Amino acid sequence: MASAKRTTMSLYKSLLRESKKLNSYNFRMYALDKIRHDFRANKNVTEPAQLDVLLKKARENLDVIKRQAVIGHMYGEGHLVIENRPSQSQSTT
């Protein structure tokens, strides 16, 4: 059971890490929210067969996210205004 939990946490962290690499703000935020929601919704699953199905689906999604991140950087556009962080000179005191 500890091995399954370790595998699940590793996959979860990988999904979050790769989703943060998505170039599009909207896709990035959707992916992060979707990953968090799906893992929370399935946190009480203990049946091994069902866990295997969920982990397989998560690995497939990880592959899709990795491909989209690469494609996004190849054909990327500028960032949205919402993504810009204020510089130190613009911040209020």
Q: What is the pLDDT of residues 63-83, one digit of tens each?
A: 999 999 998 888 867 666 676
The token pair that represents 54 in the structure block: 């969920």
Contact criterion met (CB below 8 Å) for 54 and 7: no
- For position 93, what pLDDT does the model report? 45
Residues of the chain with pLDDT under 50: 91, 93
- For position 74, what pLDDT does the model report? 83
Q: How far is the C-alpha of 91 from the C-alpha of 14, rounded, in Å? A: 33
- For position 58, what pLDDT does the model report? 95
Q: How far is the C-alpha of 8 from the C-alpha of 68, rounded, in Å? A: 22
The token pair that represents 6 in the structure block: 């370790």
Main-chain phi, psi angles of 80, to 5 degrees: -80, 160
